[in-house]
């Protein structure tokens, strides 16, 4: 019996160990003892690579993101040991593969507002860990601290413009700015606050274009703070105003150059202007500037790609709302030209044979007769066109009773928000015709 850490002597230089396992009270290897039967002992050294450049960042909604890289040589025998601890030193350690270069902690399930989380990273293997360790930390932030609120809120209207003002109350040290939100209905739970909002920055007053329309409505307003992470506090209405549409003026509520009657995103500044026959969105967000709104753009960050009428990726000009490859069209023209050349060659070949002259004469006669016939047809067509044009001068379009199925729903109609986040409306009720929009107060779009 021998142990790995025993020193070799001349007495056991032959490498032989005898173990009596047959007789009563036979020798048995205790736990931890090893017998080697030939081979070579390989010593595994600790890794030479290690994590580097660890950044831990607190983001909106309490989310925390960590990013890092590696320095040195990382082998397949190495792994990443990651330890995350909270402020009370409650830690969790996991082993990750060394392809991992990021980790995100969810603000919904993994972090608590105001809690600091520290990351410790090191590269290890069976031989131990590299002594170069990466550490960093961040504090979770999911709300505006200090409970700041807007008080003494007022709104007035003049010549199509609302002027909204308020006073700050409470600890505003965490406030980066204020959002003013409004809608034509009240709400009784802070979380039901409307999404139609505008950023007032650090100011406590702002001018808004009020929406176009007819009749009288009551609009409700609220001013809420936001922090440098983009967290926005919710609140109940702070004030309201009755608006009477006393004229037919059409406003541009978001100031993007598309008036409310044609703007598909009435309260969102946007410059989209393209689409296809079934879905053209005007005045919506177009991140890559290709003219197609992000919601109908296959790649909102790439101005060379969008969607054709069939909903397929397109990186070529649209022809009749379909994605057409110009090179394919040119190839078809070449094929057609080649076919015509082959036909001409066939005629010449026949003409050069026996009786070819007679065939050529017959073909020429047929061509001359067909041209004369086409000329007469063209003259007749022109005559009929002129006659129809004269008749059109006295023609009046007959009155057609309006069809309710073709009437576009008013922006004041309310639908139901589906699981996709869009608001849906069946109009007329029971017709099977559906309309959608991405936020209240905007134009409805017919679902194709």
Q: What is the pLDDT of residues 353-398, one digit of tens each?
A: 555 566 556 777 765 666 555 444 444 443 334 443 343 443 333 3
Average pLDDT over residues 289-315: 71
* Co-location of 121 and 66 in the same domain: yes
Choose the final residue of a domain: 197, 228, 245.
Answer: 245
In a domain, residue 185? The reply is yes
Maximum CA extent, the chain? 128
Q: What's the confidence (pLDDT) of residue 125?
A: 93
Q: CA 438 to CA 448: how far, in whole Å?
A: 16
Choose the final residue of a domain: 139, 167, 193.
Answer: 139
* Co-location of 205 and 121 in the same domain: no
In a domain, residue 178? The reply is yes
pLDDT in tens, 270-285: 888 887 655 678 888 8
* Co-location of 132 and 160 in the same domain: no
Strand (E) or helix (H) holding 332 = helix 326-351
Do 129 and 186 contact (CB within 8 A), yes or no?
Answer: no
Residue 152 φ/ψ, nearest 5 degrees: 50, 40
Q: What's the confidence (pLDDT) of residue 32?
A: 60
Which range scores top for mean pLDDT: 176-190, 199-213, 261-275, 378-392?
A: 176-190
Choose the final residue of a domain: 108, 139, 170.
Answer: 139
Which range scores top for mean pLDDT: 49-58, 250-259, 344-353, 375-384?
A: 49-58
Strand (E) or helix (H) holding 379 = helix 356-392
* 3-class DSSP assignment, residue 54: strand
Identify the burial level of 341 via C-beta atoms within 10 angstroms of its C-beta, where 0-12 means exposed, 13-18 middle and 19 or more buried.
Answer: exposed
* Co-location of 160 and 241 in the same domain: yes
At residue 262 the predicted structure's pLDDT band, cuts being 50, 70 and 90, is: confident
Q: Among 17-21, 292-296, 346-350, which is the least confidently predicted range? A: 346-350
pLDDT in tens, 123-135: 999 899 999 999 9
Q: What's the confidence (pLDDT) of residue 96?
A: 95
User: CA geometry: angle at 140 spanning 135 and 143, to 5°?
Assistant: 160
Q: What's the confidence (pLDDT) of residue 161?
A: 84
* Co-location of 127 and 158 in the same domain: no
| Percent of all residues in the chain with a pLDDT value above 90, rounded to a whole number | 33
Mean pLDDT of the chain: 75
| 83 has pLDDT over 70 | yes
* Co-location of 154 and 127 in the same domain: no
Do 233 and 412 contact (CB within 8 A), yes or no?
Answer: no
* Co-location of 160 and 84 in the same domain: no
Q: What's the confidence (pLDDT) of residue 435?
A: 79
* Integer Rg of the chain from CA: 39
| 65 has pLDDT over 60 | yes
* Co-location of 70 and 127 in the same domain: yes
* CA 276 to chain CA centroid, nearest Å: 20
In a domain, residue 106? The reply is yes
At residue 33 the predicted structure's pLDDT band, cuts being 50, 70 and 90, is: low
* Co-location of 157 and 240 in the same domain: yes
Q: What's the confidence (pLDDT) of residue 30?
A: 59
- CATH number for the domain harbouring residue 67: 2.60.40.10
In a domain, residue 21? The reply is no
Q: What's the confidence (pLDDT) of residue 399?
A: 35
Do 311 and 326 contact (CB within 8 A), yes or no?
Answer: no
Q: What's the confidence (pLDDT) of residue 297?
A: 80
Q: How many domains does the chain have?
A: 3
User: CA geometry: angle at 171 spanning 170 and 175, to 5°?
Assistant: 110
Q: CA 104 to CA 82: how far, in whole Å?
A: 13
pLDDT in tens, 399-421: 333 444 445 677 767 788 877 77
| 324 has pLDDT over 80 | no
Identify the burial level of 245 via C-beta atoms within 10 angstroms of its C-beta, where 0-12 means exposed, 13-18 middle and 19 or more buried.
Answer: middle
At residue 307 the predicted structure's pLDDT band, cuts being 50, 70 and 90, is: low
In a domain, residue 348? The reply is no
* Co-location of 175 and 203 in the same domain: yes
* Co-location of 123 and 154 in the same domain: no
| Residues whose CB is less than 8 angstroms from the CB of residue 61 and which lie 6 or more positions away in sequence, other chains included | 107, 108, 142, 231
Q: Among 17-31, 131-145, 214-228, 268-282, which is the least confidently predicted range? A: 17-31
Q: What's the confidence (pLDDT) of residue 20?
A: 55
pTM over 0.75: no
Q: What's the confidence (pLDDT) of residue 277?
A: 54
Do 36 and 16 contact (CB within 8 A), yes or no?
Answer: no
In a domain, residue 56? The reply is yes
* Co-location of 158 and 134 in the same domain: no
Do 226 and 176 contact (CB within 8 A), yes or no?
Answer: yes
Q: What's the confidence (pLDDT) of residue 7?
A: 43
Q: What's the confidence (pLDDT) of residue 44?
A: 79
In a domain, residue 259? The reply is no
412: DSSP letter: T
Range of the domain at 420: 408-448
In a domain, residue 283? The reply is no
Average pLDDT over residues 228-234: 92
């Amino acid at each position: 019996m021998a142990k790995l850490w025993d020193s070799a002597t001349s007495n056991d230089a032959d490498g032989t160990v005898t173990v009596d396992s047959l007789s009563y009270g036979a020798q048995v290897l205790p736990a931890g003892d090893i017998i080697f039967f030939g081979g070579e002992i390989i010593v595994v050294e600790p890794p030479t690579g290690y994590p580097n450049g660890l950044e831990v960042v607190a983001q909106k909604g309490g989310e925390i993101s960590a990013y890092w890289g590696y320095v040195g040589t990382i082998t397949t025998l190495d792994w990443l040991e990651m330890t995350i601890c909270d402020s009370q030193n409650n830690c969790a350690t996991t082993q990750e593969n060394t392809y991992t270069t990021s980790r995100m902690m969810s603000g919904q399930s993994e972090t608590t507002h105001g809690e600091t989380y520290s990351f410790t990273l090191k590269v290890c293997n069976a031989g131990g860990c590299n002594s170069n360790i990466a550490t960093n930390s961040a504090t979770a932030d999911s709300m505006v601290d200090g409970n700041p609120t807007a008080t003494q809120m007022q709104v007035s209207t003049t010549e199509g413009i609302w002027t909204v003002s308020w006073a700050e109350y409470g600890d505003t040290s965490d406030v980066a700015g204020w959002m003013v939100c409004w809608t034509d209905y009240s709400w009784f739970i802070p979380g039901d606050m409307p999404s139609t909002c505008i950023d007032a920055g650090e100011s406590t007053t702002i001018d808004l274009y009020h929406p176009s329309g007819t009749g009288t409505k009551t609009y409700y307003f609220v001013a809420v703070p936001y922090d440098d992470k983009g967290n926005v506090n919710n609140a109940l209405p702070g004030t309201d105003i009755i608006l009477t549409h006393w004229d037919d003026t059409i406003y541009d509520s978001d100031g993007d150059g598309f008036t409310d009657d044609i703007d598909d995103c009435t309260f969102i500044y946007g410059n989209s202007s393209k689409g296809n026959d079934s879905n053209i969105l005007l005045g919506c967000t177009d991140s890559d500037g290709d003219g197609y709104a992000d919601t109908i753009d296959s790649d909102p960050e790439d101005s060379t790609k969008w969607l054709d009428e069939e909903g397929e990726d397109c990186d070529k000009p649209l022809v009749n709302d379909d994605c057409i490859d110009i090179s394919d069209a040119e190839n078809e023209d070449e094929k057609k030209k080649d076919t015509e050349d082959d036909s001409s060659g066939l005629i010449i070949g026949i003409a050069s044979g026996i009786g070819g002259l007679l065939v050529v004469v017959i073909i020429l006669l047929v061509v001359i007769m067909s041209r004369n016939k086409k000329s007469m047809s063209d003259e007749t067509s022109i005559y009929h066109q002129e006659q129809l044009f004269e008749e059109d001068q006295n023609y009046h379009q007959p009155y057609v009773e309006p069809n309710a199925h073709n009437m576009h729903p008013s922006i004041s109609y309310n639908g139901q928000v589906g699981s996709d986040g869009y608001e849906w409306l069946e109009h007329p009720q029971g017709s099977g015709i559906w309309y959608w929009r991405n936020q209240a107060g905007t134009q409805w779009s017919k679902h194709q």
